[in-house]
C-alpha cells in the first residue's frame, strides 16, 4: 500500500478522494494549497501525488516545477482545463498522467493503481534484469533507478526513466508510439501519441549527446541506436 498526497483546494472533493484511497488501503495525506503541498512532500516523501492544476497561491504547474527540482515522485494531475495545449504543458513540466474534471472516482482509482503498479515493477526488478545496463556513455542502474550520461547523474521523471530503460534494453529495435503508450502509460491512457513525443524531446535534451542515440523511426516511433 502507498502513501499518497492529495493536493486539492476543493475541500469536499479532497475528502472524497481521501476516503476512496483509504478505503483501498492507502495512507492519504491532504494539502489545500501549493506551499503546504511542497512542505508535506518534502517531509513525508509520498509514493504518489494527486495534484490539482488550479490552486490558491502556487498553482499546480509551479508546484510541479519545484517538485521536479528534487524529486521523481509520480504525479497524477487533475484539472478543469480540457485544451490539448494545457494537457501537453502539464506533461512537459513532469506530470505522469492527466485527468480532466469532472471525472469518476472509479477511473481515478484505476489510474492510481496503474501508476503504482508500473513504479513497483520498475523499482523491484527481478535478478535477471537488475544488473546495471551500460551502453557506451549511458549507464542505467535499475535497482537504484539511477541514470548517468557522460558520467553525469541525471534527474529523470518516472515516465522519462521508464521510456529510456525500455528503449535501452532493446537497442536497435523499433517501438511504435502505440506500443510505448501501452507499456509506459497503460492501455487505458487517453493522452495520445503526443505524450510519447513530448517525453522523448525532454529525454533527449537531458541526455545531451547521448540523446542523439534515440532515433526517430518515421511513420513508426523510436529506437535506441547502438
Structural domains of the chain ordered from first start: 3-123 (3.40.50.2300), 127-224 (1.10.10.10)
Burial class (CB in 10 A: 0-12, 13-18, 19+), 82: exposed
Residue 6 has what pLDDT?
Answer: 97
What cell was used for 195? 505524450
Residue 129 has what pLDDT?
Answer: 59
Per-residue pLDDT of 22-61, as tens digits, reads: 999 999 999 999 999 999 999 999 999 999 988 988 998 8
Cα-based distances in Å from 12 to 16, 32, 63, 108: 6, 11, 21, 16
Residue 100 has what pLDDT?
Answer: 86
Task: Give, for all 226 residues of the chain, the pLDDT tens digit.
Answer: 799 999 999 999 999 999 999 999 999 999 999 999 999 999 999 999 999 988 988 998 899 888 877 777 889 999 887 666 666 776 767 788 888 888 899 999 998 988 888 777 655 555 555 778 999 899 999 888 899 999 999 999 888 999 999 999 888 888 888 888 878 887 666 666 688 899 999 999 999 999 999 999 887 789 999 7
Per-residue pLDDT of 107-132, as tens digits, reads: 999 989 888 887 776 555 555 557 78
Residue 208 has what pLDDT?
Answer: 94
CA geometry: angle 49, 55, 56, nearest 5 deg: 135
Contacts of 49 (CB under 8 A, 6+ apart): 4, 5, 7, 37, 41, 67, 73, 74, 75, 76
Cα-based distances in Å from 191 to 27, 61, 96, 100, 173: 28, 18, 11, 11, 24
Put simply, whether the predicted model's pTM sits higher than 0.85 gets the answer no
Residue 179 has what pLDDT?
Answer: 80
Residue 72 has what pLDDT?
Answer: 75
DSSP states of 6-36 as a string?
EE-S-HHHHHHHHHHHHHTT-EEEEESSHHH
Task: Quote helix, strand, coil % in the chain, to nearest 5.
Answer: 45, 20, 35
Residue 127 has what pLDDT?
Answer: 52
Amino acid at each position: 500500500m502507498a502513501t499518497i498526497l492529495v493536493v486539492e483546494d476543493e475541500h469536499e472533493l479532497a475528502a472524497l478522494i481521501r476516503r476512496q484511497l483509504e478505503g483501498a488501503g492507502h495512507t492519504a495525506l491532504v494539502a489545500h494549497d501549493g506551499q503546504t503541498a511542497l512542505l508535506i512532500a518534502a517531509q513525508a516523501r509520498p509514493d504518489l501525488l494527486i495534484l490539482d492544476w488550479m490552486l490558491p497561491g502556487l498553482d499546480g504547474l509551479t508546484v510541479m516545477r519545484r517538485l521536479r527540482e528534487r524529486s521523481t515522485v509520480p504525479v497524477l494531475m487533475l484539472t478543469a482545463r480540457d485544451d490539448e495545449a494545457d494537457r501537453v504543458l502539464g506533461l512537459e513540466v513532469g506530470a505522469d498522467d492527466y485527468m480532466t474534471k469532472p471525472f469518476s472516482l472509479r477511473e481515478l482509482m484505476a489510474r492510481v493503481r496503474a501508476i503504482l503498479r508500473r513504479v513497483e515493477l520498475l523499482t523491484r526488478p527481478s535478478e535477471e534484469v537488475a544488473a546495471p545496463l551500460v551502453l557506451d556513455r549511458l549507464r542505467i542502474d535499475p535497482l537504484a533507478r539511477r541514470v548517468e550520461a557522460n558520467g553525469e547523474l541525471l534527474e529523470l521523471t518516472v515516465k522519462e526513466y521508464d521510456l529510456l530503460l525500455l528503449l535501452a534494453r532493446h537497442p536497435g529495435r523499433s517501438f511504435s508510439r502505440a506500443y510505448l503508450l501501452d507499456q509506459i502509460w497503460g492501455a487505458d491512457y487517453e493522452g495520445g501519441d503526443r505524450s510519447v513525443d513530448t517525453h522523448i524531446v525532454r529525454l533527449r535534451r537531458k541526455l545531451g549527446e547521448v540523446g542523439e542515440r534515440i532515433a526517430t523511426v518515421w511513420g513508426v516511433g523510436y529506437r535506441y541506436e547502438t
